[in-house]
């Protein structure tokens, strides 16, 4: 599913070079396949997620977990996984349009994003053939839910300060894992964790750890400001025996995995935030047209029109930024680079997207609440949930 061929460019080139308009990728350049997967996802969302929004809002976690598993029947949890592992083997743009389509519900998008993104991609991009054969088909079908265990109570963005430790057994068959991870999305329901620990207390390394193994325990669900329908827990490892075959990548090279996966996570925050912006903008426009004050619709007031215009302008800018970078990465891939190398080339731009898109969403939901007035402060209204759900995006992915 290749997009229109575009010249390969380097990260940061926009600062030094003039780019021809036809070389900038926008949503108008989506292929028929991109539009089809977007439509499929939107239809699934409308049919399976929206009717259960109240349950999700009230932290009935088994509901979004069930919906996530059902989405696997359409391949929505396996967009970029190769066909030989049960996936759809689609491109990066497809992954982005699916993310944007599920972003209208913050909690559900957290389930989806953690499983398909930071949960599955470490294995997909860094796993060996045996590991992929063992786990990817189950992740593709959502027979296993994935989670990413990097943060600790004393180590968030400073990931290399992690205290979780792994020690090789005397017979060399397994590592003994001890420690605690914190703020783990999908933590309470995941079956497979990508866990970062220091071998011998020094060499930062990634491991594939199954929930079913003795010594793996999860904490209580965290009481969060927003995305209350997502599962967020601590995960504890007490003398967990991890087979040497479950080392992901190389010993002492876990930082390569961690930081590259965060680059992709920051990129994906673009469509997640943009999808939220579009939904809140549509909700606010609908409300402004229906709400009457002083004998007319409030949408006729200049101040409301200005707010809606500014919300739309910033959403457009965020969307444009996101897909320009996606197109640049796709051009690298088309020229023969791996997804990993292509994303790494645009790591700075991925960070730009994380910052701008998350701040744009915060602006849009804040104005959405203001347009709704007192009703925007009421939990029966979607904008109230969107306001609280938005804030985490400026914290997610460092």
Catalytic annotation, residues = 397
**Plot region of 134 (φ>0 → left; ψ -120 to 50 → alpha; else → beta):** alpha
Other C-beta atoms lying within 10 Å of the C-beta of residue 239: 10
**Rounded CA gap, 195 and 152, in Å?**
11
With tokens 């969403």, the residue in question is 361
How distant, in Å, are the alpha carbons of 139, 282, 288, 333, 379 from that of 291?
Answer: 46, 14, 5, 49, 18
How distant, in Å, are the alpha carbons of 93, 149, 287, 390 from that of 374?
Answer: 39, 39, 13, 19
Cα of first residue to Cα of last residue in the chain, in angstroms, is 31
How distant, in Å, are the alpha carbons of 33, 139, 167, 240, 241 from that of 212?
Answer: 38, 15, 20, 10, 11
DSSP codes of every residue in 267-327: HHHHHHHHHHHHHHHHHHHHHHHH-EETTEEGGGSHHHHHHHHHHHHHHHHHHHHHHHHHH
Could you tell me where the beta strands, DSSP code E, fall in 39-153?
Answer: 146-149
User: What does DSSP say about strands 203-210 and 247-248: parallel, antiparallel, or unpaired?
Assistant: antiparallel
């Amino acid at each position: 599913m290749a997009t229109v061929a575009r010249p390969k460019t380097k990260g940061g080139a926009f600062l030094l070079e003039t780019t021809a308009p036809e070389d900038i990728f926008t949503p108008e350049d989506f292929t028929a396949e991109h539009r089809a997967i977007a439509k499929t996802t939107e239809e699934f969302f409308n049919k399976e997620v929206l009717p259960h929004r109240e349950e999700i809002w009230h932290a009935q976690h088994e509901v979004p977990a069930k919906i996530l598993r059902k989405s696997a029947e359409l391949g929505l949890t396996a967009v970029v996984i190769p066909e030989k592992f049960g996936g759809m083997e689609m491109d990066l743009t497809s992954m982005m349009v699916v993310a944007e389509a599920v972003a209208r519900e913050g909690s559900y998008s957290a389930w989806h994003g953690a499983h398909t993104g930071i949960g599955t991609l470490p294995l997909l991009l860094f796993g060996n053939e045996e590991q992929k054969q063992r786990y990817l088909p189950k992740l593709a079908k959502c027979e296993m839910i994935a989670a990413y265990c990097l943060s600790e109570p004393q180590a968030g963005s400073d990931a290399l300060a992690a205290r979780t430790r792994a020690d090789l057994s005397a017979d060399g068959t397994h590592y003994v894992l001890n420690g605690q991870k914190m703020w783990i999305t999908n933590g309470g329901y995941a079956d497979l964790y990508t866990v970062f620990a220091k071998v011998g207390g020094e060499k930062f390394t990634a491991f594939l750890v199954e929930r079913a193994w003795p010594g793996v325990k999860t904490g209580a669900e965290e009481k969060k400001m927003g995305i209350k329908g997502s599962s967020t827990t601590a995960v504890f490892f007490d003398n967990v025996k991890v087979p040497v075959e479950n080392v992901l990548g190389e010993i002492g090279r876990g930082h390569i995995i961690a930081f590259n996966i965060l680059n992709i996570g920051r990129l994906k925050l673009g469509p997640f935030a943009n999808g939220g912006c579009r939904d809140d903008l549509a909700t606010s426009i609908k409300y402004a047209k229906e709400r009457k004050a002083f004998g007319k619709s409030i949408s006729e007031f200049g101040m409301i029109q200005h707010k809606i215009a500014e919300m739309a302008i910033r959403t457009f800018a965020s969307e444009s930024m996101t897909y320009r970078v996606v197109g640049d990465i796709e051009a690298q891939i088309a020229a023969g680079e791996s997804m990993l190398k292509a994303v790494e080339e645009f790591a700075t731009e991925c960070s730009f997207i994380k910052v701008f898109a998350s701040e744009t969403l915060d602006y849009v939901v804040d104005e959405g609440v203001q347009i709704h007035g007192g009703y925007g402060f009421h939990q029966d209204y979607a904008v109230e949930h969107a306001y609280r759900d938005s804030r985490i995006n400026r914290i997610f992915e460092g």
